[in-house]
Amino acid sequence: MSREKNNTKPIAVFDSGVGGLTVAAAIKRLLPNESIIYLGDLLHLPYGSKSTEAIIEFTDIAVDFLVNQDIKLLTIACNTSTSVALDFIRSKVEIPVVGVIRPGAEAAVRATQNNRIGVIGTKRTIESDAYKKEIEKVSAQTNRKIEVYQKATPLLVPLIEEGWKDHFVTELVLREYLNYFEDKKIDTLVLGCTHYPLIKNTIGSLMHDVKVVDSAETTSLKVKELLVKKKLLSEEEADYNYSIYLTDYTDTFGELAKLIIGNGKNEINDKINIISLEFSRGKSSYNLI
């Protein structure tokens, strides 16, 4: 297969819901020649409230679907999925795979001057220690000792999805959550969830003199870096902007999708396709107490 043919293949972006579109949109802003295939597993969202086993299986089946679409690069644009399933996916597929955690960790390590970094994310992302571990791995390469302070902020996604992006309650909830960092003296804060870029301004206004690392932006930079390195950048105009596949559809997706990618610059004339993927969970049992 010729290199040119490979170069015009689409980039795949996978997320459990609509949040990964912030990553897709960041890639598209940086690399307008690229076509993007998006898969949102709306039937199972939010991943943050599911078990590790379930998340790995959902991701596995979704990735199979995307790889079958003949893509040149795969982006796991879901923090929960990246934190529990990235290594497994990398061991399975041959194309380059970009997660959202490593790029955010690298950007945070570059940004901090006092070696004190904060991270916010869903309960599952924070409990997995994925950012903490990745930041420690990155900083170890330069023999730096970095302190990482983490806070789970599970109400932010529901608030954003309620349309309360600029509501005073969202600011109050943020104050409650960010209060945790008050005595931690961090100079850098990682937004460890793809929904959070939508309230980046409010977060920035509450965290004076703190650099806010947006994982959507940093992930798009990593995608560009990899495509340049592998000589896979498209030099032709994109076949399409977004081709969107969903495992379920609700109006909330449509509304937020328009907010994130339908900013008037690009006309969104691509169809949303609802697909059927087979999932099942094995039998096991737990004691309640």
- Tell me how far the alpha carbon of residue 54 is from its chain's centroid: 18
Tokens 């950007």: give the residue: 107
Give min distance, CB of 213 to a copy of itself, in A: 24
CA distance 217 to 172: 26
Catalytic residue among 39, 120, 193, 210: 193
Q: Which 118-147 residues touch a copy of itself, going by CB under 8 A?
A: 123
Classify strands 116-121 and 147-152 as parallel, antiparallel or unpaired: parallel
Tokens standing for residue 121 = 């994310």
Among 158, 201, 205, 236, binds a copy of itself (CB under 8 A): 158
Is residue 17 within 8 Å of 39, Cβ to Cβ? no
CA distance 281 to 61: 12
Is 193 an active-site residue? Answer: yes
Catalytic residue among 11, 78, 157, 256: 78
Classify strands 116-121 and 188-191 as parallel, antiparallel or unpaired: parallel
Among 67, 111, 116, 154, binds a copy of itself (CB under 8 A): 154
Is 173 an active-site residue? Answer: no
Among 67, 155, 226, 259, binds a copy of itself (CB under 8 A): 155
Q: What is the DSSP letter of 35?
A: -
Among 8, 116, 221, 262, binds a copy of itself (CB under 8 A): 262
Among 3, 208, 231, 283, binds a copy of itself (CB under 8 A): 283
Q: Which 194-253 residues touch a copy of itself, going by CB under 8 A?
A: 244, 247-250, 252
For the beta carbon of residue 75, count every other beta carbon within 10 angstroms: 29
In the beta sheet, which residues pair with residue 213? 190
Q: Which amino acids are annotated catalytic? A: 78, 193
Q: Which parts of this chain interact with a copy of itself (CB under 8 A)?
A: 42-45, 49-51, 54, 123, 154-155, 158-159, 161-162, 164, 169, 172-173, 176, 244, 247-250, 252, 254, 257-258, 262, 268-289
